[in-house]
Amino acid sequence: MIEHTIYKEFIDKISELSDGIYPIITDLDNDLSYVPDKTADFFGFEAGEHTCFFEQLSSCVNDVDLPEYKQEIRYRLNGEKPDDIFYVRMGKHTKEYMMGFYSDIFTGDDGHRYHVLVLRNENTLPDIDPYTYLYGQSKFERDINGYIMENRSVAIIEVEIGHIDEFNILYGSNFNTAIQRELALKFIDMMDGSTATYYMNNCKFVFVVKEADRALAKAFYQKIADTIKSMYFFKCFKFEFDIYAACLILKDYDGDTSTVISKVEYTLDRAKELHSPDLLFFNDMVRFNGSSHIDIMKIIHQSVINGCDGFFVEFQPIVKACNGEIMGAEALVRWKKEPFGTVPPGLFIDWLEDTPAMYELGNYIMRTAISAASEFAKIKPGFFINVNASSEQLEKENFVKDTLAILKEYDFPPSQLWIEITERCRDLPISMIKKTVTAFREAGIHITMDDYGTGSSSSQMMLELPVEGIKIDMFFVKDILEEKKKQALVIGMINFANAADLKICIEGIENDNLESYLRQFNVTCFQGYHYSRSICQDELMKLLIKP
């Protein structure tokens, strides 16, 4: 028998602390377990001491979870993995209660090893999602925090099933809930002592795989994808699911839980943008001197808030197509800060455009560009400057007023400012864009359509907005000498623009052959590395002075 009554009394006290808590203490050297009244009653056994109790307890375990139960219990009775939590479904009458196994091993003063096990009925806890019976986000966050504190290596895989909300419209209310519940049960069947699954929201599931590397994470994701695809036939309907998945390998991490979640969500958003069916790893995202993309984004965002610290503007010359003479320049923003070096704008502009900070950055670019252009114009009268406008700027009522104030401050003619609008503005109501663009036109400022032809909305915007020019993207120019389709397309754009009395600037001119070929058409301006890369204000001043 278990000699120390104090141990039994301790276990009895634990069982009284909370509903849903069922402790057991086992003398590992004698395979003798003490089962208090509450635990015994819940599982339908007699209270007191039992030999080989965990074999008896196996009769209460769900058949699907039984192999995992036997394996995990064997580990613990052998003194292995005492700190690892595992979950199985079990119960006296219904074997569907999700029970968490929390354990530890200690050596008593009698020299015996004792295994203390606390079974927790997870279904009684607010952490359980009532529809899927899976843990929710709060439990996930606590578990991740625990892994960080313990310096555990885990793979975090987030999976989203696209467009599932539309099923309610097609097949009736709560249809998507039924699908998610069925999926959750299948995911539970996949779990073992080294894995866990959580329901987040909007058909997002998170899986944690302990001690996992990339190969193991990929293999586990394939099981997830196969499980989802196995649901192609549900309630007499056939389905094809869009599956998006992101993974973060958490190893030697010293940050906080919220950043972990942000990184996984960021990677999942990228997977959706790319329409990628494969598992996308955050760890593959662009890195600068050991810092991850999302960490850089946070620093850049704070740089905007701190007066655009670290930002600067470069200028790429725009030349007359007929003779290569510099007539103006496009203002291009850059960011540089040690130890990260210079970060290309393509890695932060799209992200910043979705935040209010873009308006402040846009004003900084406008002010810097006009300030420099006023100096360029002293050397080259009539010099014009092109500045990109973001959707965040176009939807602000103050954008026109702020721009006119900057022009007045530097005494720069409105007629020498060209504002470039892009396909990225397509999400704004066309009426809103038109109102702002019309106000600029009335003030004498010119409007041009950047990246013309690269998106489905550019032609509509061209027809509905009072634009005066187009910029043909370098995509259409690359390899144009060898590709007849591109030749026909570019010639068509040029003919359209000339017929509509629009100015035409072609980007991506990189050599004499391109210049010679495109010069035969009626084009206004060229821009590209053949003339100059983007350069600082002083370098452009030297080019303008150069005879």
Q: What is 42-90 written as a DSSP string?
A: HHT--SEEEESHHHHHGGGB-GGGHHHHHHHHHHHHTT--TT--EEEEE
Kindly list the domain boundaries of the chain, sorted by start residue: 5-124, 137-285, 309-473+503-545
Enclosing H/E stretch for 409? helix 398-409
Instruction: Pull the structure tokens for residue 532.
Output: 């100059």
Residue 288's pLDDT band (boundaries 50, 70, 90)? very low
Return the pLDDT at 166.
62
Return the pLDDT at 348.
79
Give the pLDDT confidence of 36-67 residue by residue, as tens digits.
888 998 899 999 999 999 999 999 998 888 99
Give the pLDDT confidence of 230-278 residue by residue, as tens digits.
876 666 666 677 899 999 998 877 777 877 887 888 788 878 878 888 8
State which amino acid sits at residue 471: K
User: What is the pLDDT of the chain when averaged over all its residues?
Assistant: 86
Least confident piece of the model among 172-181, 389-398, 424-433: 172-181
Give the pLDDT confidence of 145-195 residue by residue, as tens digits.
889 888 889 999 999 987 666 665 666 656 677 778 888 888 888 888 789
Residue 13 · residue 31 · CB < 8 Å: no
Residue 108's pLDDT band (boundaries 50, 70, 90)? confident
Task: Give Cβ neighbours of residue 217 (< 8 Å, ≥ 6 apart).
Answer: 155, 157, 209, 247, 249, 279, 281
**Mean pLDDT of the region 411-430:** 89
Residue 270 · residue 176 · CB < 8 Å: no
**Mean pLDDT of the region 211-232:** 89
Other C-beta atoms within 10 Å of 392: how many?
21
Residue 481 · residue 514 · CB < 8 Å: yes
How far from 279 is each of 195, 205, 213, 215, 426, CA to CA, in Å? 17, 14, 13, 11, 29
Nearest-angstrom CA–CA distance, 60 and 230: 29
* 200 or 1, higher pLDDT: 200
Nearest-angstrom CA–CA distance, 527 and 262: 39
Residue 57's region, left for phi above 0, alpha for psi from -120 to 50, else beta, is: alpha
The CATH classification of domain 137-285, taken from the options 1.10.645.10, 3.40.190.10, 3.30.70.270, 3.90.1150.10: 3.30.70.270
Predicted model pTM: 0.56
Q: For residue 100, which of 78, 82, 123, 122 has the smallest C-alpha distance?
A: 122
Question: What's the start-to-end Cα distance of the chain, in Å?
Answer: 103
Return the pLDDT at 124.
63
Return the pLDDT at 503.
96
**Mean pLDDT of the region 353-367:** 90
**Mean pLDDT of the region 440-466:** 86
CATH number of 5-124: 3.30.450.20
> Is the pLDDT confidence value at 103 over 80?
yes
Q: For residue 117, which of 150, 63, 142, 81 has the smallest C-alpha distance?
A: 81
Strands (E), 482-529: 503-507, 525-527
- What top-level class would CATH report for the domain 309-473+503-545? alpha beta
> Is the pLDDT confidence value at 125 over 70?
no
